[in-house]
Amino acid sequence: MPIKDLTCIKKHLFLCNGGSCKAKGAEESTAVIRRKIDENDRSGSIHTTKTLCNGRCNDGPIVISQPEGIWFKDVTPDKAAAFAADYLFKDIVPDGHRLYIYGENSISDNPKNNQSMETTRQFHYGTVLEAITILREQGYGHDFTVYDGKLKADGRFFCPDELEITDVYRYEGDTDPADEAIVFALSAQCGLKGILVAGYGADTDGSGQLIAQLHYRYLRP
């Protein structure tokens, strides 16, 4: 068996396959996540390891990601593909799966902690236009585009550390592939608010790489 080169690993997922998580479909979820990693040709940068019980059986199937130190809950087989698409390939931490991030004072099933989670919200939409219309009404008046490795809006260029993601709109379901996009509401430090539409498919414009560098409001200390 060839020895894996770990120097290129960016994410290491620990997939709980303890008894309680297995009873909720952890083996199938593991297979789905590994298949998605292979299909997206990311096995060189994302490594997976099956584990025994991680002590949060009621929240299973549990997935832990390092080096971020994020614990995910409820990664059941029917949700595993969407989880992989969001977290592994767009660096979105899905609210419905977020359990705990190292350094927090409490687990997210603590109501007190849930309050802070609400600062970044995820919505579902019927069409991209519908999501954009809603965000325009909320003051996201500019359009972000990717240009020369930076995000551009209103004639200005922004580095990822000048922006944060405040809302995410994602489509789920069967429809025209043109509607299978994620719509990000972005806020700049200078007060500018705008919208970035990123496709689920191939990262042809480099937006996926830039999004991965943006901060979600709730990830801030």
Residues that bind ligand FES (CB under 6 A): 16, 18-21, 53-57, 60, 62
Least distance from ligand FES to the Cβ atom of residue 51, Å: 8
- Give me the amino acid identity at 2: P
Name every residue whose Cβ is closer than 8 Å to that of residue 157 and which is 6 or more positions away in sequence.
147, 148, 150, 151
Q: How many residues does the chain have?
A: 221
Comparing every residue's Cβ against ligand FES, the nearest one is: 18
Least distance from ligand FES to the Cβ atom of residue 57, Å: 4
Cα-Cα-Cα-Cα torsion 103, 184, 126, 142, nearest 10 degrees, comes to: 150
Cβ atoms < 10 Å from Cβ of 182: 24
* Cβ nearer to ligand FES, comparing 24 with 170: 24
* Cβ nearer to ligand FES, comparing 32 with 183: 32
Least distance from ligand FES to the Cβ atom of residue 12, Å: 17
Cis peptide before 160 (omega within 30 of 0): no
Name every residue whose Cβ is closer than 8 Å to that of residue 10 and which is 6 or more positions away in sequence.
45, 46
Least distance from ligand FES to the Cβ atom of residue 79, Å: 16
* Cβ nearer to ligand FES, comparing 110 with 209: 110
* Cβ nearer to ligand FES, comparing 16 with 93: 16
